[in-house]
Structure 1
Amino acid sequence: MSSRTRHLIPVILNVAGATLLTAQVSTTGPRYAAPTGREIVKSHANDFRDLLDRFSRDRETLQRQFPSKMEPKRIAGLENFFKEWHRLLLEMDFNQMNRSGKVDYILFRQKLERDQQQFNDDADHLKTAAKLLPFIEKITALEYEKRAQGKYNPQELAPRLEKLSQDIDREGERIRKEVMESRRHQKEHGPDESAERIFKTAEEGCRELQRVVDNWFNYYRGYDPLLTWWITAPSKKLSTSLGAYADTFKPDPKTSSNPTQKAPPKDFNSENHAPPVGAEHLTSLLAREMIPYTAGELVEIGKKELAWCVEQQKKASNELGFGDNVTAALEHVKTKHVPPGEQSSVIRRLALEAIDYLEDNALVTIPQLAKDSWRVGMMSPGRQRYNPFFTGGSTISVSYPHLDMNHADKLMSMRGNNPHFSAATVHHELIPGHHLQDFMTSRYNTHRGIYRTVFWTEGWALYWEMLLWDRGFPKTAEDRMGFLFWRMHRCVRIIFSLGYHLDQFTPQQCVDMLVEIVGHERTHAEGEVRRSLAPGTPVLYQCAYMLGGMQFHVLHKELVTSGKMTPREFHDQILRGNRIPVEMVRAEISDIPLSRDYRSNWRFAEQFKKN
């Protein structure tokens, strides 16, 4: 008998009192091993496409196999997953890779490290919350037994389920007292966000277990008549017990003891803004994005670039006949808006002007399908509250007055989206900005989508504003005022967003900065800050525009201004390289030394020069 045949001989497993028949499915959870062997390692030396796809698919599949995100088996399984992939990377011969392979290796190693650190942080939290659910493995055992196609003894299973319900009810009484005591303490001494986060996770985990029980019961209900007869009542009781246990952690909105209940905002500062993250967390986030600066240094860079913008604005203001009175010049430009109903025509004209300029000057390859596949849509009044300007991609969403808006908001929408301001943003959102970006990255090096970084995405679009300025694309003083308005906006974004997270500014001070320094309409400034500081918005998102743009601008100087590449070659290679940190774009298309343990070291701001 061959070893393969012996391996397939059925085995009888006994788990948690249930007798199971022959099975090849593990009753203790999935097991994982990363790809191994010289052939696999060698085959990915220069092309990481399949390897990264394997990583993503294996991770997704592995995580789906665990009934509960809080069970110890899942945490141990994912710990092993990361360990296996680190082992695989160490087996690969870095020195035999081509430059693109080395770039992918470095990026994948760094991603693996980041993901593992994030998992470790999450795992610590889940382990703490899991202590509030001591019955997790007794519930998940039911799912593993079902997968193994076990044959239950109904008369043994029913009392097992009843006892489990009783244990959960008894534990629920004890936990309820602890939660009530915590809430009482919070009412007297202030909210405990850490405790509430644990309670919320425990509630979610318990409801997840309730779904496990319901799905398990429905699998047998009606299909196994004898088993159904015995376990219907105990299963329903078990589900009810889990639901009641989950309710233990849920604050009662009807009581004043609810520490998570927020009063209606009294002013802009009291709206639902994300809390400041602090300097240490900012440093960690910047390292992930391969930006070798501190937050404080970046604020100073923002101030320096803002000063240049102010000087350029004065020049444009003088051209318009307003002397150094930039406020008056800006007011003049804002009044040159078009009537409601005509904005989409302006957008189309500006988009086609930009495309013609790019092609006439051989700056970037624009596939015909990309030119033909963008559309114009109108931003709803609700969305304009958070985004009072444009968003891009295959559809450019345009903010402009809507019938349902109040009169003051209508006027501000027209003033803030006048054609001269829009001259700097339409190409940012469409071509060569986000639409061309999306078009090309969906067709080239698509495996790099897992490295997606806002410094590449928004930096590329902002870089074109810089490059077109350098090339004299904005012909009139009004257009130059529009270009400078948006560049100042990006400088102030660095200052206010990082300053807020360094706990230097309040949300209202951020709004005032946009109004008083940049010249925003107040409603627009509030929408900008509301979106920037909203819970869930990436902390570095707002500063990524200007900083990413500066990186691309410096790289253009190194490779195009120096004569090493043509503009079209340079821009095409960036787009086809997909969304990776700009420092690694530089590493891929230049000849800087690369090592297996490469770390960010490009101090690009010192090389940034403006025309």
Structure 2
Amino acid sequence: MRERPAPDLQGERQFEVVIGIRGNDRQDEESSSSRTETMRERIGRVKEDVRCLTEFYNIEVSSTRVRRLQRYFRQQLSDLKENEAFDRFDQSDKIDYLNLRNYLERNLRQLGFDGDKNESAIVLLPFASLLIRLCEDRQQMKAIDAKRAADDLFEAERQAIIMYKEIEHGQHHVSKNDAFRATNILQKLRSHLAEWFHFFKGYDPMFDWWVPEPYYKLDTAMERLSQIIREMLVGIKLGDEDAIVGEPIGRKALLTELDAEMIAYTPEELLKIADHEYTWCEAEMKNASQELGHEDWRDALEYVKNLYVAPGQQTQLIRDLADEATEYVKKHDLITVPPICEETWRMFMMSPSRQKVNPFFLGGRTIQVSYPTDTMDHEAKMMSMRGNNIHFSRSTVFHELIPGHHLQMYMNDRHRPYRRLFSTPFSIEGWALYWEFILWDKKFPETPKNRIGMLFWRMHRCARITFSIKFHLGLMTPQECIDLLVDKVGHERATAEGEVRRSFNGDYSPLYQCGYMIGALQLYSLRQELLGPGRMTEKEFHDRVMREGQMPIELLRALIREKRVTRDYKPSWKFYKSLE
């Protein structure tokens, strides 16, 4: 897996937005209909506009933010669709048109989904509107009335105390997911209010006279309210920071996400693909295990897990494995590896706290290595060492570095970087896992121990489809997801918990875990279509993919194959063999 980048919906340029919209709700001036603008320029402008807007309107539950973003996305969609030049575009511009249309439509839908979820959660925070108004007045640089602000804080504290008592006496019955979302909203509101408070404190004498006392009381009341929501409505006891909750999004939202990712399969069909791929993996695992003298593949897996290096030697192992994979793809002329890319990757060790969420390596511009420290107890040390053994690490290293994420990010930074706006896990993670497919076919894992190491990860990616889809369909609990990884893949329980915690408690999209296997299968199928006599070589194919940047793989296929596309193009590619 690569380290998750900061979202594109952040940025630093905000002055032009403030001037452009403050005090009125007129039509956007960002429309490009009055001048000539290339698709690349348009995408770059939209990216910067969204960075400005989302940084300025940074209170996620604010109706002001939602309306402003909706207005912007609708205006941009309208302006894009009114562009009469589509039929005169070359193939690259047509694909960029579709990527941008998809991006705008997806953001609009997401605002609607988030709004529905927030509405269900905000019932536990009746004072939220008071705090949002205070913070937004400050953003708009309206003059502050310190006494009125103190009154608002006093009223918000009163409502927080009432809500606390009502929850304490069992008067509120909301879903665990809504309650969990409410706690997240509440913590963000506390952060926004702290920013508001420290903006004025010490600079405005009337503010210092009226506001500090009610502010500190309110902050204490919000913290207590957050704790009782977590304990009584979510079921997370005080101090249990490792609890896994998550928010299932349901089948309808999954279908919407699949459409945005240009995946022409249903959730149920993805589950069938996962089962089919797992069956293949299990058969290969049995073959490799028998070569080691084990009838049960789980016994062979246990043997391989205990082939770890001694403390202090993991960094050199990673260095050697990285060199091995890099030299292999160069020797067999599989892809271009720029010298600076090969020269400049770096390594860091991961802290024990981060390993609870990321039990294996992270990669990209650097590789972050999971391995025990002297502060861990004996059980945690052994689980980390077994989970990051020599043969598991062999695949992880080339997945994270070369030809995986490090090479991918190096190329994406230099070739069509504007397409990073359309980043998708099916392309990002699919690319790295695709190389596990290719190197398997080329017998890179020569020994049965190395094959078992690669198959562990391939089975893991099948299980990721299963547990993430079933969780979001409401068919599996987080604990059942953990059990699946232990029972069907052979995870250490601690690493299984870390995987599920990262999937559901973090900022990963609902389909992120599907992106590994499904994206790899898409690229593998596209490779089969394009390689052969009189067509592309492997190196030409891999270099072309890297030079086109980020986008859904179905659109990448349409781009490379010069397929006819229309402005209302919809996903239709059935890249997987029969599901029967």
TM-score (norm 2): 0.82
1:98 aligns with: 90
Q: 1:496 to 1:117 in 2, by over 3 A?
A: closer
> What is the root-mean-square deviation in Å for CA atoms of aligned residues?
3.9
How far is the alpha carbon of 1:261 from its aligned partner? 7.3
Name the SS for the 1:574 alignment partner: helix
Contact 1:251 1:258 in 2 (8 A): no
Q: Deviations over 1:436-472 (max 9, x none)?
A: 0111111111111111111111100000000111122
Q: Taking structure 1 as reference, are residues 326 and 467 closer, same or farther at Cα in structure 2, changes over 3 Å only?
A: same
- Percent identical among aligned pairs is 37
Cα distance in structure 2, aligned partners of 1:73 and 1:265: 34
Code of the residue aligned with 1:108 in structure 2: it is L
Q: Deviations over 1:82-116 (max 9, x none)?
A: 23212320232211111111111111111111212
Which one has the largest radius of gyration?
A: 1
Shift of 1:178: 6.2
Write the letter of the residue equivalent to 2:473: L
Choose the corresponding residue for 2:76, options 79, 85, 95.
85
Match of 1:381?
352
1:302 lines up with 2:274 in the alignment? yes
Q: CA deviation at 1:140?
A: 5.9
What residue in structure 2 maps to residue 435 of structure 1?
406
Structure 1 position 303, deviation (Å):
0.8
In the alignment, which of 272, 296, 302 is matched to residue 331 of structure 1? Answer: 302
Find the aligned partners of 2:193 and 2:353 in 1 and give their Cα distance: 37
* Amino acid in structure 1 at the alignment position of 2:560: I
Equivalent of 2:107 in 110, 115, 140: 115
2:560 is the alignment partner of 1:589: yes
Alignment of 1:229-244 (within 5 A): 232-233=205-206, 236-237=209-210
1:279 to 251, 254, 257: 251
Counterparts in 2 of 1:190 and 1:88: CA distance versus 1, 3 Å = closer
Matches within 5 A, 1:332-481: 332-481=303-452
Work out whether residues 73 and 104 of structure 2, in 8 Å CA contact, stay in contact via their aligned partners in 1: yes
Structure 1 residue 289 and structure 2 residue 261: aligned?
yes
**Preserved contact between residue 167 and residue 228 of structure 2 (Cα < 8 Å):** no
Q: Which amino acid aligns with 2:79?
A: L
Give deviations 1:486-545, integer Å, cap 9, x for gaps: 111111221222223333333333333323322233333333233333343432222211
Q: What SS does the corresponding residue of 2:576 show, helix, strand or coil?
A: helix
8 Å Cα contact 1:69-1:205 kept in structure 2: no
For 2:87, the aligned partner's letter is N
State the distance in 2 between where 1:555 and 1:330 align. Answer: 32
Q: Relative to 1, partners in 2 of residues 1:235 and 1:286: Cα closer, same or farther, differing over 3 Å?
A: same
Which of 286, 306, 310 aligns to 1:314? It is 286
Deviation at 1:370, TM superposition (A): 0.7
In structure 2, what is the equivalent of residue 28 of structure 1? 23
Which of 555, 559, 564 pairs up with 2:530?
559
Shift of 1:480: 1.6
Per the alignment, do residues 518 and 588 of structure 1 end up closer, same or farther by CA in structure 2, a change over 3 Å counting?
A: same
Q: Deviations over 1:215-264 (max 9, x none)?
A: 46877x5xxxxxxxxxx437742676566667665544787997457454
Aligned AA (2:276): K
Structure 2 distance, partners of 1:421, 1:257, is 37
User: Could you say if the C-alpha distance between residues 122 and 312 of structure 1 is closer, same or farther in structure 2, counting changes exceeding 3 Å?
Assistant: closer
176 and 390 in structure 1: CA distance in 2 versus 1, 3 angstrom threshold: closer
Task: Find out whether 1:59 has 2:50 as its counterpart.
Answer: yes
Q: For residues 498 and 577 of structure 2, what CA distance do their matches in structure 1 show? A: 33
**Which residue matches 1:487?**
458
Relative distance call for 1:377 and 1:249 in structure 2 (3 A) is closer
Moved more, 80-89 or 441-450: 80-89
Shift in Å at residue 433 of structure 1? Answer: 0.3
* Pairs within 5 Å for 1:141-160: none
Deviation at 1:119, TM superposition (A): 3.0
Distance in 2 (CA, whole Å) between partners of 1:173 and 1:379 is: 40
Q: 1:59 corresponds to which letter in structure 2?
A: V
Distance 2:518 2:288 in 1: 24
Check if 1:183 corresponds to 2:156.
Answer: no
Higher RCO, 1 vs 2 (CA within 8 Å, ≥6 residues apart): 2
Q: Deviations over 1:376-412 (max 9, x none)?
A: 3333333333333222223222233433333344334
SS at 1:424 equivalent: helix
Q: Could you say if the C-alpha distance between residues 182 and 375 of structure 1 is closer, same or farther in structure 2, counting changes exceeding 3 Å?
A: same
Does the Cα contact within 8 Å between 2:347 and 2:366 map onto a contact in 1?
yes
Cα distance change on mapping 1:130 and 1:377 into 2, 3 Å = same
In structure 2, C-alpha distance between the alignment counterparts of 1:253 and 1:183, rounded to whole Å: 11
Change (3 A) 1:193 1:259: farther
CA distance in 1 between partners of 2:289 and 2:92 (Å): 47
Paired residue for 1:16?
Answer: none
State the Cα deviation string for residues 41-84 of structure 1 (Å, max 9, x = none): xx31xx41x22222222233345556977776655443432232
Is the CA contact 1:286–1:292 (under 8 Å) kept in the aligned structure 2? yes
TM-score scaled by length of structure 1? 0.78
Q: CA deviation at 1:548?
A: 0.8
Q: Distance in 2 between matches of 1:500 and 1:72?
A: 30
Range moving further from structure 2, 441-450 or 364-373? 441-450
Distance in 1 (CA, whole Å) between partners of 2:394 and 2:176 is 48
Structure 1 residue 578, shift from structure 2 partner: 1.5
**Any idea what SS the aligned residue of 1:376 has?**
strand
* Cα distance in 2, alignment partners of residues 497 and 566 from structure 1: 36
After the TM superposition, which of the residue ranges 421-430 and 531-540 deviates more from structure 2? 531-540
Residue identity matched to 2:92: S
Contact 1:203-1:246 at 8 Å conserved across structures:
no
Task: Provide closer, same or farther for how the CA distance between residues 328 and 207 of structure 1 changes in structure 2, counting only shifts above 3 A.
Answer: closer
* Shift of residue 210, structure 1, vs aligned partner: 7.9
C-alpha contact (below 8 Å) 2:419/2:549 kept by paired residues: yes
- 8 Å contact kept, 2:463–2:485: yes
Task: Sort the Cα spacing of 1:477 and 1:64 in 2 relative to 1 into closer, same or farther, 3 A.
Answer: closer
Q: Greater CA deviation, 406-415 or 465-474?
A: 406-415
Match of 2:265, SS state, is coil
One-letter identity of the residue aligned with 1:102:
K
Structure 2: 5+ residue stretches without partners? 1-18
CA distance in 2, matches of 1:202, 1:252: 9
Q: Secondary structure at the match of 1:605?
A: coil
Equivalent-residue separation in structure 2 for 1:267 and 1:465 (angstroms): 37
SS in structure 1 of the partner of residue 347 of structure 2: strand
* Rounded Cα–Cα distance in structure 2 between residues aligned with 1:96 and 1:235: 63
1:604 to partner: Cα distance: 1.4
Matched, 1:39 2:25: no
**What's the secondary structure of 2:75's corresponding residue?**
helix
The CA distance in 1 between the partners of 2:420 and 2:29, in whole Å, is 24
Q: Deviations over 1:546-598 (max 9, x none)?
A: 11110110010011146521111111111121221111111211122211111
Return the letter of the residue paired with 2:91. Answer: R
Aligned length: 555
Structure 1: runs of 5+ lacking an equivalent: 1-23, 148-156, 222-231
Equivalent pair of 2:424/2:551 in contact (CA under 8 Å): yes
Distance 1:179 1:59 in 2: 36
Is 1:512 matched with 2:508? no
Asked if 2 retains the 8 angstrom alpha-carbon contact of 1:187 and 1:257, the reply is: no
What is aligned with 1:497? Answer: 468
Contact 2:358 2:499 in 1 (8 A): yes
